[in-house]
Amino acid sequence: MTFFKAALSDIRQRILARNPCVCVTTAFILGILFHRFAPCTASSLVWMATLVISACVCIASAQVFKKIHIHVLVFYFCIAGYVCSALHQQRYTLIPQSDIVVGKIISNNEEKAKTYKVLIETLEESSCKSVVYIQKDSLSQSLRYGDVISLKNTFRPIENKDSSTFDYKAFLANQYIHSQAYVRSGQWERIGHQNSLPSVCMKLRGNALETLKKLGLDEKNHQLIAALTFGDKSLLDDDTKKEFQTAGAMHILAVSGLHVGIINGLLLFMFGFIRNRNFLWLKLLCCILGIWAYACITGMSPSVQRASIMCTMVSISLLLKRHCSTYNTLAAAAFFSLFLSPNDLFSIGFQLSYAAVLSIVYFGTLIQNLFHPETPIGSYLWGIIAVSVAVQIGTMPLTLYYFGTVPTYSLLTNIVVIPLSFVVLTLTIVVLATSWIPLVSSTLVSILNFSTTYLQDAIHDINSFPHPQIILQCSFKQSICLYFLIFCLVIIIETLQKRREQFELISI
């Protein structure tokens, strides 16, 4: 017990004390979890009054008891997490109440076998998010993000299919979606359009994909690039998704830190001509604006939010000449994401994204320091292996719990797929930038077609290997136990490092 107490105290001093955002975000998450398991209904005024009163109490307590500042901070942000979750939850009603429902489309038009699927948010006093399936015709085909439509109230609660083990109802409830409707032709009409930043971004994404198609991009490659570059997986067929999942390459289809990092690198290269230190702020500002523009175009998923916030904070720290802690930056990104949407905490994408990055930051460095190749190629390959192993350590319990499978050749997949995805993403951006030059764009599209086809063939070949995945289902309690074992491993590593540092000091 003394061993664990000493290790926990060391972690508190070396990590938590130097990274206050970690404490704040952890408390905020605890408040969200408390609201999930013990919800309470009250008006918005009551919740705001609760925040103000608790702030006053915490400030007074900190003034009277000088040694409990950290405890007061944790207590207040725990309350803030609970209140924030409650306010978001009560913002949306379960089912629209009026006979005629007027709502704005807040998603792309996704084509199904006999319908077009859209997500709408009602424009009534109490908002409601709903999934709407509209019968196929020429009018429904033309629906776009931001269109305002009116339809008859045929909404019903979301229900799970008896034949499926996936909890579809809970998945949509985490996005504040509680109802759905099927609308026939003639039971709805488009009555206007509301321009907004998301609608403009979706229009830009649609124009970019249409430009790629007109330049001669193959249909199957067009579908893959829509997912890999712009985060639109609605065009991908189920077989392609399954192949990427089995090979352990689904992370390149979910726009994440890898994509944002590539965009940031390209922007830094583009604005490399700004070498004067006095204009460093202009260079960084252009990069930040470019990253957030890309994040908006790709749909602002939790992983993109995290990467964009982290890049922004690193850029600001460079401008201010301040040290930027990775743990602090990661915690701050999580806090802002959860403040905007507390239920993201329960989404698979959010959990996998932050678990992967946290594991890379801690275990990736340790693994990479175990071996130092002498050649650039060896260093590159070892870097990919170290990051891949670190990601598996951090995300394995979640992967086993949600998917019940382990990709057998994930290391090989990452060695092949990561450089290819970099080539495809870079070529896509260059093709769009030179689309007005026929000869250049046609040549680059041919190279893009070849690279994308090669990427898909590589994934297909990896899937043809024997036993491409291992079936291993894990319960919620078992996944918690696995994370507890990982936490114990961290404590052991931290203790060994501290003892090695003490031994080195004694030797000196």
Q: What is the pLDDT of residue 50?
A: 80
Asked if residue 16 has pLDDT above 70, the reply is no
Q: What is the pLDDT of residue 166?
A: 72
Taking the C-alpha atoms of residue 421 and residue 414, their distance in angstroms, rounded to an integer, is 10
Q: Same structural domain for residues 134 and 51?
A: no
Asked if residue 4 has pLDDT above 60, the reply is no
Residue 268's domain spans which residues?
260-344
Taking the C-alpha atoms of residue 391 and residue 499, their distance in angstroms, rounded to an integer, is 27
**Which of these ranges, 8-17, 95-104, 200-209, 406-415, has the smallest mean pLDDT?**
8-17
Does residue 21 lie within any of the structural domains? yes
| Contact (Cβ atoms closer than 8 angstroms) between residue 96 and residue 179 | yes
Q: Same structural domain for residues 66 and 120?
A: no
State how many domains the chain has: 3
Sorting pLDDT into bands at 50, 70 and 90, what band is 481? Answer: very high
* Arithmetic mean of pLDDT, 417-435: 87
Assign residue 137 the CATH number of its domain.
2.40.50
DSSP annotation string for 298-364: TT--HHHHHHHHHHHHHHHHHHHT----HHHHHHHHHHHHHHH-GGGGGSHHHHHHHHHHHHIIIII
Q: Same structural domain for residues 61 and 114?
A: no
Q: Same structural domain for residues 66 and 112?
A: no
Q: Same structural domain for residues 57 and 110?
A: no
Does residue 166 lie within any of the structural domains? yes
Q: Same structural domain for residues 108 and 136?
A: yes
Q: Same structural domain for residues 104 and 177?
A: yes
Asked if residue 29 has pLDDT above 90, the reply is yes
**Which of these ranges, 68-72, 359-363, 447-451, 474-478, has the smallest mean pLDDT?**
68-72
The more confident residue out of 165 and 263 is 263
Q: Same structural domain for residues 56 and 123?
A: no
Does residue 363 lie within any of the structural domains? no
Q: Same structural domain for residues 121 and 160?
A: yes
Taking the C-alpha atoms of residue 310 and residue 154, their distance in angstroms, rounded to an integer, is 43
Q: pLDDT tens digit string along 199-241?
A: 888 888 888 888 888 888 888 888 888 888 888 887 788 888 8
| Contact (Cβ atoms closer than 8 angstroms) between residue 194 and residue 148 | yes
Give the range with max mean pLDDT: 62-76, 165-179, 241-255, 330-344. Answer: 330-344
| Domain termination residue (choose one: 194, 217, 239) | 194
* Arithmetic mean of pLDDT, 361-376: 84
| Domain termination residue (choose one: 91, 115, 132) | 91
Q: What is the pLDDT of the chain when averaged over all its residues?
A: 82
Does residue 246 lie within any of the structural domains? no
Q: What is the pLDDT of residue 28?
A: 92
Asked if residue 8 has pLDDT above 60, the reply is no
Residues in the chain: 508
Asked if residue 5 has pLDDT above 70, the reply is no
Asked if residue 61 has pLDDT above 60, the reply is yes
Q: Same structural domain for residues 118 and 185?
A: yes
Cα-based angle 505, 506, 508 (whole degrees, multiple of 5): 65
Q: pLDDT tens digit string along 74-84?
A: 888 888 899 89
Does residue 473 lie within any of the structural domains? no
Does residue 465 lie within any of the structural domains? no
Within 10 angstroms of residue 343's Cβ, the number of other Cβ atoms is 17
What percentage of the chain reaches a pLDDT higher than 70? 93
Q: Same structural domain for residues 21 and 73?
A: yes
Q: pLDDT tens digit string along 170-185?
A: 888 888 888 888 988 8
| Domain termination residue (choose one: 313, 344, 375) | 344
Does residue 318 lie within any of the structural domains? yes
Structure tokens belonging to residue 429: 């951006």
Does residue 186 lie within any of the structural domains? yes
The more confident residue out of 288 and 276 is 288
Sorting pLDDT into bands at 50, 70 and 90, what band is 123? Answer: confident
Asked if residue 14 has pLDDT above 60, the reply is no
Between helix 348-359 and helix 302-320 the angle, nearest 10°, is 40
Q: Same structural domain for residues 265 and 337?
A: yes
